[in-house]
Structure 1
Amino acid sequence: MLDLGRTFLQSVERNPDAVAVVDGPLRLTYSEWHVRIRSVAAGLKAQGLGHGDHLLVVLQNRWEMATLHWACQFLGVVVTPLNWRAKPEEIDYCLADSGARALVFEATSAGAVAESAEADKVLRIGVDAPAGARLSFEALLDACPLEDGPQASADDVSLMLYTSGTTGKPKGVPRRHRQERAAALAHVAQNLYRNGERTLGVMPLYHTMGVRSLLAMALIDGRFVCMPRFSAGEAIALIEAEAVTNLYLVPTLYHDMLGHPDFSPARVASVRKLGFAGAPMHDALLLRLDEAFRPELFVNHYGSSEVYTFTINQDARAKPGCAGRAGLNARIRVVGFGSTDPEARVVPGEEGQIIADLAGDEAFEAYWNRPDANAKSLHNGWYFTGDTGYFDADGDLFVTGRVDDMIISGGENISPVDIESVLSLHPAVDEVAVAGLKDERWGQRVVAFIKRKDSIAAEALDAHCRTTDLANFKRPRDYVFVREIPKSPVGKILRRKLVSGEYEPEG
């Protein structure tokens, strides 16, 4: 299999004059970008970075971030991206854990870098001259372009993503060139991308969705339209100005675009393919998107940093909430709760933990320096995802939540996602999240946290639930009206914050 450096060269050779990346006024063709990528690779090499070294990158989705990603692929350096909102202690941990030789940052992350003790021990490279930088990104660009060609093989490590670490220290997920390329190829195939597609590069490049969008465009001579920080109004404007053809986002970003006063179907008419991942999409949002975009293809992608694709549903409209079936490079099963035996499969309709075959082309091999995490999640050649779900009678997968999010009330296992989907269909509900709060009698009681679109009382929402097929024991016992639903930087609901009371009540 080709490594990723040679993968990029394919587009340079096939279509050198095609626009490859856009960032504000900057527009680079594949041939122009190739020169800059080789210069940055040479600049990093001049600073002593080489094959197998880690480069920690704390940047927003700007062309410099995308360029560094590709430069590392040419040089054989392991790009190790981190959330640009990272705190000093997170930077400390990831620098020490990865053994990174250098750090790249910008003004938005300069404060955290300044407070990081570990950052003071490595070369600090700044984009746009942030305080504390010892070398400028521009100095890398001034280097004579690398002439040796790609210096990595398909079996070398391409990047290391850090998981969000919501329940402890983040875990490093090293991924090889061949695993990354297989995932990008499958992404192109499963989303039916054509040559020359254009995508909105807003999913962060420290997240598997953002990386996949970047690599997929290079496979098809496509255009990556950088968006450093999401703004619904700016996203709509960029889609219109650049005639973006596909979107691959978390549900939250779609929700925000639809709710923006500048949104109109005419302004996003160029978009023919929608994809979402990262979190379930509630029925109401699914229907609104279908009406607004009328896409040719509407894909629900279910996966993770560890194994990019678990399942694909190429017609999310046909069976709302359905995650589909195993992707091109995947095998999945659902096993009983508490079991570490891949053969302990449950019957259709029974909920359990979702697991994936580690022999798949997209699958990682093990966590970085985390034998404890390996012991918890890797069993007999299978990755135990920590997600809950079930197969229906047709063989389609439904993802119901996280093992840790499962509500156990009165001895019954209750999935938050089922309840959220029902409540999302009420016209007065803007967003909803359900969590289990401690209860002396029931162990946990079901509580719905509601961001209202219009005035609505708890009694009316309860009446709405009673008119559906939601089982009585699953109905929320309390409703809490909030200003915002707490989410992670990539739009995942943070139920732990709801449980701990870390939210702002409405009014």
Structure 2
Amino acid sequence: MLDLGTSFLAAVERDPRALAIADGDLSLSYAEWFTRISALTDALGQMGLRKGDHLVTGMQNRWHNASLHWACQLAGIIITPVNWRVTPEELDHALSDSGAKALFHDGSVAEAVAGSQIAPTLPTVPLDGAGGLAEMLDGSAADAIPQARADDISLMLYTSGTTSKPKGVPRRHRAERAGAVAHVAQNLYRHGERTLGVMPLYHTMGVRSLLSSALIGGGFVCLPRFDVPGALAAIERHGVTNLYLVPTLYHDIVHHAEFSPARVASVTKLGFAGASMTDGLLKKLSEAFKPELFVNHYGSSEIYTFTICQDAAAKPGSAGRAALNQRIRVVPLDSTDPNAQAAPGEEGQIIATMQGDEAFEGYWNRPEADAKAIHEGWYFTGDCGLIDEDGDLFVTGRTDDMIITGGENVSPVEVESCLSLHPGVAEVAVVGLPDPRWGKVVTAFVKRSGDVTEEDLDAHCRASELSNFRRPRKYVFVRELPRSPVGKLLRRLLVAGDYQPEQPETAGA
């Protein structure tokens, strides 16, 4: 299999004049971009960075960041991106844990860099100024020659640690390329497609969009930080043809005052991942975009793709079936035996084979994490789900999110999908809060879009197919739901009481 540096070189040879990347007023063809990337690759070597070194980055989705990703692939350097909202302590963990040999960052990470204890001991390169990344890209050098092989490590992503320090997920060139090829196939991308590059490049969704664009001679349209007007303007200006976003960003787009179907007419394919999408949002997106393909992609940093559903709106909630490079199973929640498969319709833990071409091989310096997650060649995802009578997977939440009330298991996702269909609900999250009688009581946190009451929502649930014991017994109306930088719902903050309730004067508005 080709390494990623050679894959990019092949894209340059196939489509030298095609749009490769756009960022604001800047647009570069593949040939023009390769010239800039070659200069950067040479500059990395001049810094003393060598094949196999870790280079930590903290940057928003600028063309400079995308260029650095490709330069590292050509040089055989392991790019190790961190969230640009990183704290000094989190940055130090990544620098120390990876054994980083250099740090590149833009202004969004400047405060964390200033507070870091390790950054001053390393070559630290800002975006701008003398010797900065922008200056490196303006240099000149001979065309870069790929130094990596398919079995070398391409990048290391950090999982978002909630109960422990983030875990490094090293991924080889061959696994990254296999994931990109499968992404192209499963999303039916055509030659020359253009995608909105807004999912961060420290997240597997952002990396996948970047790599798959090159495989098809496509355009990667950068949006450093998501905002709806900026996204709509970029889609119109560059004729973006596909979107691959988390549900939260889709929600923000279609509910924005500046949105209209005409402004996104060039978009023919929608894909989402990172979280479940409610029935209400699926319906609204289908009506607004009328996509020819609407893909629910379920996966993780460890194994890029678990399952794919290519007609998400036709069977709401279904994550589909095993992807091109994968096998999946559902096992009882308390089992570590990959052969102890749950019966159809029985909820359990979702597991995926590590034989797949996209799989990682274990965490970075975390044998205890490997022992917990990997059993007999299968990766135990920590996600709950079930396989229905048709053979389709439904992801019902994290094992830690399952609500046990009065001895019954309640999936938050099922309740959220029901409530999302009420026109007065803009967003909803369901958690279990402690209760002396029931153990946990099903509680819905609702962001309203109209004048809706607790009684209205309870009546809506009673009139639905939702089982009686799954109905929320408590409703909390909030201004916003707490989310991670990539839009994942942070249920633990709701349980902890860390949220913004509606102010009395806005209640019911």
| TM category, shorter | over 0.9
Cα deviation code 1:133-184 (max 9, x no counterpart)? x841134235542556100000000000001112221110000000000000
Are 2:327 and 2:353, in contact at CA under 8 Å, matched by a contact in 1? yes
Q: Is the 8 A contact 1:43 1:139 kept in 2?
A: no
CA spacing shift, 1:142–1:316, aligned 2, 3 Å: closer
Distance in 1 of aligned mates of 2:369 and 2:60: 28
The residue type paired with residue 132 of structure 2 is S
Partner Cα separation in structure 1 for residue 274 and residue 438 of structure 2: 31
Q: Which amino acid aligns with 1:470?
A: L
Find 1:288's aligned residue among 284, 287, 305: 284
Letter in 2 for 1:125: V
Q: Do the aligned partners of 2:62 and 2:224 also contact (CA within 8 Å) in 1?
A: yes
2:249 corresponds to 1:249: no
Q: Which residue number in structure 2 is paired with residue 76 of structure 1?
A: 76
- Percent of residue pairs identical: 65
1:358-404 Cα distance to aligned partner (Å, 9 max, x none):
00000000000111111110110000000000000000000000001
Pairs within 5 Å for 1:346-495: 346-495=342-491
Give CA deviations for 1:425-473 in whole Å, capped at 9, x if unaligned. 0000000000011111111111000000001111111111000111111
Over 3 Å counting, the alpha-carbon distance change for 1:147 and 1:34 in structure 2 is closer
Confirm or deny: 8 A CA contact 1:3 1:152 kept in the other structure.
Answer: yes
**Secondary structure class of the residue paired with 2:501:** coil
1:199 pairs with 2:195: yes
| 2:325 paired residue number | 329
Q: Any unmatched runs of 5+ in structure 2?
A: 504-509
Partner of 2:22: 22
Amino acid at match of 1:113: V
Q: Does the Cα contact within 8 Å between 1:41 and 1:146 map onto a contact in 2?
A: no
Q: Secondary structure at the match of 1:338?
A: coil
Shift of 1:334: 0.2
Structure 1 residue ranges without an equivalent (≥5) = none
In structure 2, what is the Cα distance between the partners aligned to 1:285 and 1:399?
A: 17
Contact 2:41 2:144 in 1 (8 A): no
Equivalent in the alignment of 1:93: 93
Q: 1:128 to 1:143 in 2, by over 3 A?
A: closer
Residue identity in the other structure for 1:473: F
In structure 1, the residue matched to 2:152 is: 156
| Distance (Å, rounded) in 2 between the aligned partners of 1:60 and 1:139 | 18
Q: Which of 263, 266, 273 does residue 267 from structure 1 map onto?
A: 263
Q: Does 1:310 align with 2:306?
A: yes
For the residue of structure 1 that corresponds to 2:64, the secondary structure is helix
Counterparts of 1:165 and 1:359 in 2: how far apart (Å)? 25
2:51 and 2:75 in contact (8 A); partners too = yes
2:496 corresponds to 1:500: yes
More off after superposition, 290-299 vs 120-129: 120-129
Task: Check conservation: 2:38, 2:144, Cα contact below 8 A.
Answer: no
1:85-109 per-residue CA deviation (whole Å, 9 max, x = no partner) reads: 1010000000000011000111111
Question: Do 2:128 and 2:135's aligned partners in 1 also have CA atoms closer than 8 Å?
Answer: no
Task: Give the aligned residue type for 1:194.
Answer: R
| Aligned partners of 2:40 and 2:137 also within 8 Å | yes
The answer as to whether partners of 2:35 and 2:143 remain within 8 angstroms in 1 is: no
Q: SS at 1:483's partner residue?
A: strand
Equivalent residue, structure 1, for 2:507:
none
The alignment partner of 2:400 has SS state of helix
How far apart, in 1, do the equivalents of 2:140 and 2:193 lie? 31
Structure 1 length normalisation: TM-score?
Answer: 0.98
**One-letter amino acid of the structure 1 residue matched with residue 242 of structure 2:** N
Deviant stretches of 4+, over 2 Å:
138-148
State the Cα RMSD in Å: 0.9
* C-alpha separation in 1, matches of 2:328 and 2:163: 25
Residue aligned with 1:482, SS: strand
| CA pair 148-108 structure 1, distance change in 2 beyond 3 A | closer
Q: TM-score, normalised by structure 2?
A: 0.98
Q: What is the CA-CA distance between 1:253 and the residue it aligns to?
A: 0.3
Question: Whole-Å Cα distance in 2 between the matches of residues 61 and 450 of structure 1?
Answer: 31
- SS at 1:449 equivalent: strand
Q: Aligned AA for 2:311?
A: D
Contact 1:51 1:77 in 2 (8 A): yes
CA contact (8 A) 1:200 1:226 kept: yes
Deviation sequence 1:98-139 (CA, Å, 0-9, x none): 01100011111101100000111111001023xxxx841134
Equivalence for 1:126: 126
| Paired residue total | 503
SS of aligned partner of 2:83: coil
Change (3 A) 1:195 1:418: same
Which moved further from structure 2: 280-289 or 147-156?
A: 147-156
Question: 1:40-59 alignment to 2 at 5 Å?
Answer: 40-59=40-59
